[in-house]
Amino acid sequence: MKWSKNYIYTLKEAPTDAEIPSHKLMIRAGFMKKLAPGLYTYGNLALRAIRKFEAIIRDELNKRGCTEILMPMVHPRELWEETNRWKEMGAGLLKFQNRNEHWFCLGATHEEAVTDYIRNDLKSYKDLPKNLYQIQTKYRDEIRPRFGLMRGREFSMKDAYSFDINQEGALKSYDLMYDAYRSIFDRLGLNYRIVKADAGNIGGSQTHEFQLLADAGEDALLVSDTTEFAANIEVCPAIDATPHVSNEAEKPMEKFATPGQKTIADLSKFTGQSENELVKTLFYSANEGMDPKDKSLKAFAVLLRGSDEVNPVKVKNLLGLSNPPTMLTDQEVLEVSGSLPGSCGPVGLKIPVYMDNGVAGLKNYIVGANAEGFHLKNVNHGREYQPTKTADLRMARAGDKCPDSSGKLVAYRGIEVGHVFYLGKKYSEKMKATFLDQNGKAQNFEMGCYGIGVTRTVQAAIEQSHDADGIIWPRAIAPYQVHICALDPKDSAVMSLAESLERELESQCVDVLIDDRDERPGVKFKDADLLGFPVRIVIGKKGLDAGEVEVVERKTKQVVKLKPAEVHGQVMKFLEPGS
C-alpha cells in the first residue's frame, strides 16, 4: 500500500482534551478523530489494527467451538424489563422513544438479547453446551467521556455467552473461555495479568479480569512477587506481612482529653503511638433504597487500624449489598455516636460494629470516646465492646503478604481489557429460559458471559507500548508490519526496489506501507516513528548507489545497513516472535 493511495494525516500536536499518551498518539497518528465527546471515527490504520485483533479473537473462539452471531444494537424496553435491568442499569443505559412512542435502549450488554435468542431453540440437554458470541458496537452513556477509547461512549466489544446444563458444565465453559482469553492476549505479546475481580451488578460469583499493565490504567492491581497470584485491589485479600499481634496484659480503660486532635495523624503525634496501633471508626449506611434520607435505620460502623484504608467492596460483599455503602454525614455520625467524627469510637455504640482483621491482634488501644475532645485508652474488644463480626475489610497494599505464598504483593496499574463471569441462573430464571433435562424436567440454563473490549484493547496496547517518539505496535495487530521510507520516490531504482520488497513481503503475509510522499527524510522518519510499525526500511538514492539499504527495528531503534538482497531476510528476522 502506498501512502499516497491511503488516507493518512498526522498531527504535530495532540488536542488539549487528550490526557494520556495513547490518546494523544492515536489522535496525532490519525488513527481516530473525534466527532463528539466519546464518539470517534476510526481511520484506516486503526481499523486495520482492530480487524487484526478481531481475527485473533475469532480464531481462538471458533477453535473452542464458539459460534458467532450478530445481535441488534437497539433493544426494546420489554426485553430489559424481564430482568428488571431497565431500571437497575441506571443512567448509563441510553434510552429513547421512537416515532411510534415505543421505548428502546442502545445495547450496553446483551445478556437479555442472547437469552431471548436461544430460549426457543435450545430445548433439550442434548443441545448443550452452547457458546454464542458477537463482535458488536456497544453504547454507554458516559457522563464525562475521556481517555479516548478507554472511556468512550461508542465502542466495539466481543461478548460471548455460554449455556450449560449444570454448574459443573458452566464452570467448564468458564475455564474454556479463560483459556481462550489467555491465548488471545498471549498472541498480542503484551504484558498482562489475570486478576480476581468483583462481579459488580452483572451478577455471578466467579470472575476474572484480564488487565493490560500500564501506568495510566484506571484499575489498581496487586500481584505476587512469587506466584501467579494477582487481584484487583477491590477484592485482594489483605494480609499483614508482619502481623500486629500484641501479647500485652489487658489494662484498665481510661478516658483522656485530646483537645483538637481530630485526625489519626494528629493523634499519633499527640500520643506518641504509631498509626498502625491506633484504631479508627468509620460510619456507613447500608440503605439501598432510593430515598437518600432513609439512612439512620441501617447505620453501621467499621473499625480499622489508623494506618489502613477501608475497602468498600469488601464491606459490600460482607453485608450482601448490591453496591458499596455510602458514608454517613457528620450530622448523622453525631446522631448515632453522640460525637462528631474525630472523637468517635466503638464503645457504647448501639449499631453493628464490623472489625477489620488488623484490629483483632491489637490490645490496650486508643479509640474515640464518643465525646467531643476525648479519647479512650486501653480499650480491648470483647471487654469494652463486642464487634458484630471480624473480617478482612481493609485495602490490601504493596508489601502485604501474598495470599497464597510467602511472597509479597507488588502494585501495578492496569487497563481492564477482558472479563469472564460465571452468571449461574440469574438471567435464565428471570427470563424463564429452560431446557428439558435427562428426566424430561424443565431446568434453567446455567450461564456465563465473557467480554473483550476490542477498541479499548487496541488503545491499551499503545498505552503500554510507546516511547517519546510514538507508538511501538505489537506485531500481531500492527496496521502494517513494515514501513518503507522511499526517500526519493521519483527515482525509479528506489521505487522499483520498494515495490519489489512490498511484493515479496506481502506474498508472505507481511503488510507493507510505502511512504512515497514528496517529503524530506526528517518528516518521513518522524511519521514512521509516530505510526510505529515494527520494522522500517529506508531506501534512498544515495545509499542505493552505494549498494546500501537501512533496516530499523522500531522497538529498539537498532539500525542495520545491508545490501538490497539481504533486506528481506533481516526484516523477517526482526519480525520473528520474541525477537
Cell of 190: 503484551
Cis peptide before 129 (omega within 30 of 0): yes
Element at 461 (helix H, strand E): helix 454-464
Q: Does 400 bind a copy of itself (CB under 8 A)?
A: no
Q: Which of 15, 65, 361, 547 binds a copy of itself (CB under 8 A)?
A: 65
Q: Which of residues 133-152 bind a copy of itself (CB under 8 A)?
A: 137, 139, 141, 143
Q: Does 5 bind a copy of itself (CB under 8 A)?
A: yes
Q: Does 509 bind a copy of itself (CB under 8 A)?
A: no
Cell of 384: 469494652
Q: Which is nearer to a copy of itself, 161 or 412 (CB)?
A: 161
Q: Does 47 bind a copy of itself (CB under 8 A)?
A: yes
Whole-angstrom Cα distance, residue 346 to residue 95? 46
Q: Which of 12, 16, 91, 205 binds a copy of itself (CB under 8 A)?
A: 91
Window of 20-28, 68-76, 323-331, 397-405 that interacts with a copy of itself by CB under 8 A: 68-76
Element at 209 (helix H, strand E): strand 207-213
Phi, psi of 329 (to 5 degrees): -75, 165
The SS3 assignment for 466 reads strand
How far is CA 346 from each of CA 40, 307, 494, rounded to the nearest angstrom? 52, 18, 81
Q: Which neighbouring-strand residues pair with 564?
A: none
The SS3 assignment for 348 reads coil
Q: Which is nearer to a copy of itself, 154 or 356 (CB)?
A: 154
Q: Which of residues 148-187 bind a copy of itself (CB under 8 A)?
A: 153-154
Q: Residue 231: what residue type?
A: A
CB of 531 to a copy of itself, least distance (A): 15
Window of 16-24, 132-140, 350-358, 467-475 that interacts with a copy of itself by CB under 8 A: 132-140
Q: Does 132 bind a copy of itself (CB under 8 A)?
A: yes
Q: Does 129 bind a copy of itself (CB under 8 A)?
A: no
Ramachandran class of 260: left when φ > 0, alpha when ψ lies in -120 to 50, beta otherwise: left
| Secondary structure of 272-299 as H, E, C letters | CCCHHHCEEEEEEECCCCCCCCCCHHHE
Q: Which of 19, 55, 72, 245 binds a copy of itself (CB under 8 A)?
A: 72
Q: Which is nearer to a copy of itself, 91 or 249 (CB)?
A: 91
Q: Which neighbouring-strand residues pair with 510?
A: none
Whole-angstrom Cα distance, residue 369 to residue 257? 9
Whole-angstrom Cα distance, residue 348 to residue 242? 31
Q: Which of 23, 24, 52, 75 binds a copy of itself (CB under 8 A)?
A: 75
Q: Does 15 bind a copy of itself (CB under 8 A)?
A: no
- Applying CB under 8 A, which residues contact a copy of itself? 5-7, 9, 30, 33, 35-36, 39-44, 47, 50, 65, 67-76, 78-79, 91-92, 94, 96-100, 104, 106, 113, 116-117, 121, 130, 132, 137, 139, 141, 143, 153-154
